[in-house]
Structure 1
Amino acid sequence: MRLGGRLTAAIEVLEDVEARRRPVADALKDWGLSHRFAGSGDRAAIGNIVYDALRKKRSYGFRMGDDGAQALGFAAVIDGLAMAPQELAAALAGDRFAPELPNAGQLERFGAADLSAAPDAVAADLPDWLAGKLQASLGEDWVAEAAALAARPPLDLRVNTLKSGRDKVLKALAPFGAAPADLAPDGIRIAAIEGAGRHPNVQVEAGFQKGWFEVQDEGSQLAARLAAPMPGEQVLDLCAGAGGKALALSAAMENTGQIHAADADRQRLAPIHDRLKRAGCRNVQVRDPRDDMAGLFGAMDLVLVDAPCTGSGTWRRRPDAKWRLSEAALQKRMEEQDDVLDRAARFVRPGGRLAYVTCSLVAEENADRIAAFLARHGDKGFAVADAGARWNALLPQAEGRCRIGALAGGSVITMTPKLTGTDGFFFAALERAG
């Protein structure tokens, strides 16, 4: 396919996403199934246009003077492929599958528009109702922080130290430009794609099949490290999902002790079995949602709660989610977070720890939930640990690379794309008196 056909396809997908308010991944998949002639390169290029348009929907709309699918598609191509309007016109000339070009005034406006004159929510590429929440969470630099959530993300990997080492994996992935992650000691990063490029499918590589590495954002890797699992401990991963953090915990514990991986959703938990086998994790016991885990009450050294959340920290990867998010959905997530924290508290032994993690940058899902938990469980001996000190001890070279906030005599941390170079993550550690 030529650029014109790819752009037309991207506009069709954007119209589908807007009309049906459906996940972009589903819309792209359906388009591919109904246009089987499109090769993998075509599908990747179309996906780039669609994702870029959704990442910067408001700022592109402001610059174009139009936030319709066609205007956004053209903006994404001009910006994402670094094409001058005249270059774009030349590239589309004679292509019968190309959409009609915007008028000259619209293209001139796009190139000349100054986002500093735009409302903050537009410059931040956010729905209006979320602007105040991000400002409250991220402070005076919130617009730049939110804008960083609209950039293309890198591809991050975690070396599985049970089977390999970072140098070995780096050598195997050298053709893809793999480099050591900036902060995570077992992390590897493949830079964000440029132009019409695409990330490699690392899951078909021999190293992945052998269990040498897993796909995991660097922020998620750091959150697992900050939870401080120790060899020989009894650990409960209460919201294990597909098992990313459970695998990281297993490696940190050197395959000793025991990790109970649980999740209320059997479907989310299903992939964990193959992942554990491939990674060689022998100290993880997967708990079916129907299992009676009362025998674990008060017995866990560490309970990890990777809580259900709005996922605002992952908007680089799932930009459509921010346009579908509603205040009602946020309220529902907060209720779920309170519920899972209450359940988690029952498992923590005296002297044990509870680690709370979200991939959200909304304070109501983060520090506010910890404060509410303490208010409900003030008689259980829980106290907020100094997560900021833990960060500086674990990563002395990264002092200042996360946001540290005081809370109830301790501190909590927030990682962001702009400051930390990761997806957005919140981390808090609670300690229960012995």
Structure 2
Amino acid sequence: LRRRPPAARRGRATSRAMRGCPVPASSHPAWAAEATVSALLRVLGPANADAQKEATRTLRALQREHGPDAAAAAQRKAAVAAPGSAGSDGDGARDGGALTNGVRMAVARRIIGVGCLRARLSYLRKCALAMRDDGEGGDERSEYESMRSESDSDSSSGGSDSRPSSASDSDSEPWLSRSAACRRAYAETLLALYILHEEGVGLGACRGDAAQALASSAGELPCLNSLLSPGWIDALRAASPDAVEWPADPVDRLAARCSLPRWLAARLVAQLGGAEAMRFGEAVNVPGPVTLRFNAAKADAAAGAHSRESLAARLVEEDGLVSAFGPYAPHALSVVEAASGAPPRSIWAIAGWRDGLFEVQDEGSQLIAHACGALRGERVLDMCCGNGGKALALAADVGPEGIVYVHDVKPYRVRALLANARRAGVEERIRPLSPEQLSSGEFGEGRPTCALVDAPCSSSGALRRRPALRWLLEEHYTHRGRIISVLQAELARRAARAVAPGGRLVYATCSIMAVENEEVVRAFEASAEGAAFEAWDFPAGTEGALEGALAHARQMLPHVHHTDGFFMARWRRTGGGA
């Protein structure tokens, strides 16, 4: 477990929820529903908790209180109790039984789903309020009408009901001014709409009988149960995403329909246009595929006995997983489905991963390492290595004679990289650099002939991998207090100074924002360091390659290329310098 990357250590139910694996339909006990709503109050409120982290924390708490160990302890306690008092402490019987995998996945799915789709669900709630019969609900209507006071300039988009992006947001005060019952009713109504209309689609779980699922949840949620009057439940059913009229304004429509912060929707519409921005928004609301990278280093060690084709055959024979070759990266395979038609099993439990035959890596990420053009025996620098996905690919490319220098500001990530390198069989090719070594240019075995800057960014191109991130970003995105584009340009200049004469430089992000991509490229080329480099164009006809003065840049998009959104630009060094 210690050698697995952080994504592998995440709670299994949360991982399955994010990958789009079906959640078994089951009746969930009241304590599970209560825990879901409590988590949603933290996610939707001014604290703006990360929905995915909140789901993990909630599952850990439920495991402690209702997991197998807790149930066994309750049984032992009941066994030693007096016969007449056994029922008083029978927690397992009273609370509906122990925590099951079905309950775990449903809790994770609903916390993540409602937290990410809050603007869309909020807009549907407004439509339901408008549809509801004026004669229904009395006190119920007054309570819900009081929640319509949270309004701002983009109220028609549903963004007004979206919880603020930070505790200092101007909308936090109306949220705090509401009663606890009113806030709870708001969260439970969004949950009801999610169960009715979203569970089974995109970020949702497997679709079953939505009405039955809602009726089951209504019995578990006291406040929601009181709200389901005939007029209100009919209005909730009628407020279907396919039936309501979405805002006419392109920005408001994108923000509401795809559940994005309005500032992000405005940038997307300005950069991509209304129609393409909508396709992007729909793409990031669908879980991405599980993509693998065949480890070419294992082929070298086995004298060619291993290949991408042999890995695909092994996945079918040993694990029952059908895969398809990626259309862009030379070592990419996408897991399609289990051979039997069932959902894929956990990719981390497969023997091929433990044996280092493959890494889990999006095809767009693989293309960044491929863009470096690393050759056998070269020295390559991965300046912002993270957990090492691209560094491991580069280590396979440079072969046993090559070296990959790695650096990251977070030492635990370098430790994770080294653990993965041991599993992949490339540990001897990795050379970690301290901040002092990188700053002084002390490369013990020679300056790198290629440098990769996979710069910290907004991760706006990878929202389908981390959907809750959309509500954690700020309009002026910063990293450790610095404007992100300024830091990105500085990192590109630092890497450029390290490249040996005649070497290459690659700048990359997992963002689709021009301010982090094209604008940083232009800023670098206008700098003193950039003057020593010339554009290294991608071959004509390369998918995603830009045109004209940016022919040396490439942008992969989820709604076009079915990869995560990645940007890369590359140059060759023409002059000297230190």
TM-score, length-normalised on structure 2? Answer: 0.66
The residue that corresponds to 2:58 in the other structure is 31
The residue that corresponds to 2:309 in the other structure is 167
Distance apart, 1:8 and its partner CA: 4.8
Q: Deviations over 1:303-340 (max 9, x none)?
A: 00000001111111212211111123246221221221
The aligned runs of 1:28-177 (5 Å cut-off) are 28-36=55-63, 37=67, 38-65=99-126, 68-78=186-196, 79-81=198-200, 82-83=207-208, 85-92=210-217, 99-100=224-225, 101=228, 103-110=233-240, 112-115=243-246, 117=248, 119-140=253-274, 141-163=276-298, 164-174=306-316, 175=319, 177=321
SS class of match (1:173): helix
Matched, 1:12 2:38: yes
| Aligned residue among 464, 469, 475 for 1:321 | 469
The residue that corresponds to 2:563 in the other structure is 422
Seen in structure 2, the aligned counterparts of structure 1 residues 290 and 391 have a Cα distance that, compared at 3 Å, is farther
AA aligned opposite 1:86:
A
Q: Deviations over 1:351-378 (max 9, x none)?
A: 2111111011111001100101111236
Q: Deviations over 1:275-309 (max 9, x none)?
A: 11110013221223343551349932210000000
Distance apart, 1:248 and its partner CA: 0.8
Seen in structure 2, the aligned counterparts of structure 1 residues 265 and 92 have a Cα distance that, compared at 3 Å, is closer
Q: Distance in 1 between matches of 2:464 and 2:286?
A: 6
2:321–2:337 Cα contact (<8 Å) kept: no
Matched, 1:286 2:432: yes
1:226–1:391 Cα contact (<8 Å) kept: no
SS class of match (2:409): coil
Q: Deviations over 1:358-399 (max 9, x none)?
A: 011111001100101111236632223223x2772xxxxxx4
Q: Distance in 1 between matches of 2:48 and 2:294?
A: 37
Distance apart, 1:74 and its partner CA: 2.8
Give the count of matched residue pairs.
421
Distance apart, 1:23 and its partner CA: 2.5
The aligned runs of 1:364-379 (5 Å cut-off) are 364-377=515-528
TM-score, length-normalised on structure 1? Answer: 0.87
The residue that corresponds to 2:456 in the other structure is 308
Regions of 4+ moved over 6 Å: none
AA aligned opposite 2:27:
R
The aligned runs of 1:342-361 (5 Å cut-off) are 342-361=493-512
Q: In percent, how many aligned pairs have the same letter?
A: 29
| Aligned residue among 382, 386, 389 for 1:244 | 389
| Aligned residue among 377, 398, 418 for 1:253 | 398
1:386–1:429 Cα contact (<8 Å) kept: yes
Seen in structure 2, the aligned counterparts of structure 1 residues 423 and 317 have a Cα distance that, compared at 3 Å, is same
The residue that corresponds to 1:2 in the other structure is 27
Q: Deviations over 1:81-124 (max 9, x none)?
A: 33565343455476578953563212212252144746232234
Q: Distance in 2 between matches of 1:30 and 1:142?
A: 33
1:153–1:317 Cα contact (<8 Å) kept: yes
Seen in structure 2, the aligned counterparts of structure 1 residues 139 and 250 have a Cα distance that, compared at 3 Å, is farther
Q: Distance in 2 between matches of 1:154 and 1:45?
A: 21
Q: Which moved more, 1:67-76 or 1:280-289?
A: 67-76
Seen in structure 2, the aligned counterparts of structure 1 residues 133 and 192 have a Cα distance that, compared at 3 Å, is farther
User: Which of structures 1 and 2 has the bigger CA Rg?
Assistant: 2
Q: Distance in 1 between matches of 2:460 and 2:246?
A: 22
SS class of match (2:505): strand
2:453–2:508 Cα contact (<8 Å) kept: yes
The residue that corresponds to 1:182 in the other structure is 326
Higher strand share: 1
Distance apart, 1:12 and its partner CA: 2.9
Over the residues paired in the alignment, what is the CA RMSD in angstroms?
2.9
Structure 2, unaligned runs of 5 or more: 1-25, 68-98, 127-160, 163-185, 201-206, 299-305
Q: Distance in 2 between matches of 1:271 and 1:391?
A: 37
Q: Distance in 2 between matches of 1:137 and 1:384?
A: 24
Seen in structure 2, the aligned counterparts of structure 1 residues 43 and 181 have a Cα distance that, compared at 3 Å, is farther
Q: Distance in 2 between matches of 1:7 and 1:417?
A: 34
Q: Which moved more, 1:345-354 or 1:124-133?
A: 124-133
Distance apart, 1:73 and its partner CA: 2.5
2:533–2:573 Cα contact (<8 Å) kept: yes
1:152–1:192 Cα contact (<8 Å) kept: no
Q: Deviations over 1:184-241 (max 9, x none)?
A: 3322223599xxx976332232211111111111111122112211112111000011
Q: Distance in 1 between matches of 2:397 and 2:496?
A: 23
